Amino acid sequence: MTVSSTRLPRRCVLRTGVGLTAAAGLATLAVPSPASASSGTEPVSSANGWSIEPDADESGVIWTRQVPGSSVSVALRLGEAATVLIHVIRRYHYEIDTLVDGEVIGFRPADGTLKGHATNHASGTAIAIRPTWYPDGAEGGLFPHQLATVRDILEECQDVVAWGGDFRRPNESHFQIDVPPSDARLKRLAARIRGWEDKPGQGAGTLTLGA
């Protein structure tokens, strides 16, 4: 069951002023990037070990896909990373709150403003869901049942996905692939998710909390 997107979060009023300062989205994320700090140039790999792509159109590995069952389109890295992150978005859409196009940010080119875990956007392996609702550094923006669903998604993803709400400086809009490309857990999880598509009663949209 989803929570109607017309109902503003309980902290919406308190977040209104903060949200305006976060309108630039993820550009405010500021965890130092060791690669760029040491060399003075943009890193070739994102913080999670994936190659940074200069441009979605030129890379050939960043594609925009529509999230099934929603109006959301998001640019992500082809393959297992996209499979897993689209699954996260679908569960959020079905079980936390209805999402509309423009509320999810995927790939962003490395333009000098992306630091730390935000560089994962430049490899197409991170998403931000409603970044202006849940600005960098703020916490407690989710209702208890919404937080429980996030925890269930993370448990289902078996340490392959990390949530920004668990970072030292929280960012509750942020989800990322948290393993390098060679990690076998990512391949296994993506295979499981693809298998769920053929099995009724499994996959995104199926409530399993407390099971």
Structure tokens at 172: 């509750």
Instruction: Name the band, by pLDDT with cuts 50, 70 and 90, for residue 196.
Output: confident
Q: What is the DSSP letter of 26?
A: G
Residue 27 has phi, psi (to 5 degrees) of: -65, -15
**DSSP class of residue 95?**
H
* Mean of the per-residue pLDDT values of the chain: 81
Q: With cut-offs at 50, 70 and 90, classify the pLDDT of residue 41.
A: low
Contacts for 89-93: CB closer than 8 Å, 24+ residues apart: 89/127, 89/129, 90/204, 90/205, 91/149, 91/153, 91/204, 91/205, 92/129, 92/149, 92/153, 93/2, 93/67, 93/69, 93/204
Strand partners, 76: 63
Residue 179: name the closest of 163, 159, 165, 194 by CA. Answer: 159
Confidence at 197, pLDDT banded by 50, 70, 90: confident
Check pLDDT > 80 for residue 184.
Answer: yes
* Lowest-confidence segment of 53-57, 96-100, 174-178 by average pLDDT: 53-57
Structural domains present in the chain: 12-23+45-196 (3.30.1380)
Give the predicted TM-score (pTM) of the model: 0.75
- Report which DSSP code applies to 118: G
**66: three-class secondary structure by DSSP:** strand
